[in-house]
Amino acid sequence: MTTDLSKYDSSVLPSADALQRQRYAIIVADWNKEYTAPMADGAKQTLLEHGVLEENILVKHVPGTVELTYAAGRLIPQPNINNRHSRFDAIIVIGCVIKGETPHFDYVCQSVTNGVAMLNTKGVTPVIFSVLTVLNEKQAKERSGGKLGNKGIEGAVTALRMANLG
């Protein structure tokens, strides 16, 4: 059964004092903007509600979902022995891919999934996958603020937890 994962226990999140010193990036695909915009708004609002300062949240827009990986990679410094710190504590990528009649859906989904996984294996900055991969617009609407919640909120909660693993 599918549940609304944007409902969560805030007691598992770090204190607002700790979050005031942290920086987060939200990268949003403009393709299917009617779904990605409410997800980005939900992510940003969730970060703010838990203590992240507005000036510590960067929101960047890219044309489509495939471009999310490149943009996230640009925000992660190349790791080396002396410096393993990023200017962001976590990066949330937000996109929406709706299946059509061609295999394009499969290529886009595979590209962004593999790209985010590769960025996460670097171990420098957690990159949170808030990309809808749905069969139709109804499913996108339900997951971008509808009856199944908001994947952007879920991404923000995940970012806060992953940035503070310890």
Q: Which residues are catalytic?
A: 104
CA 139 and chain centroid, separation? 18
Those residues with Cβ within 8 angstroms of residue 149's Cβ, 6 or more apart along the chain or in another chain:
4, 5, 6, 7, 143
Residue appearing with tokens 């503070």: 164
**CA atoms of 119 and 113, how far apart (whole Å):** 10
- Give the Cα-Cα-Cα angle 46, 99, 110 (nearest 5 degrees): 75
Count Cβ atoms below 10 Å from residue 48 Cβ, excluding itself: 15
48 to 79, 136, 138: CA distances (angstroms) = 29, 31, 29
What proportions of the chain, in percent to the nearest 5, are helix, strand and coil? 45, 20, 35
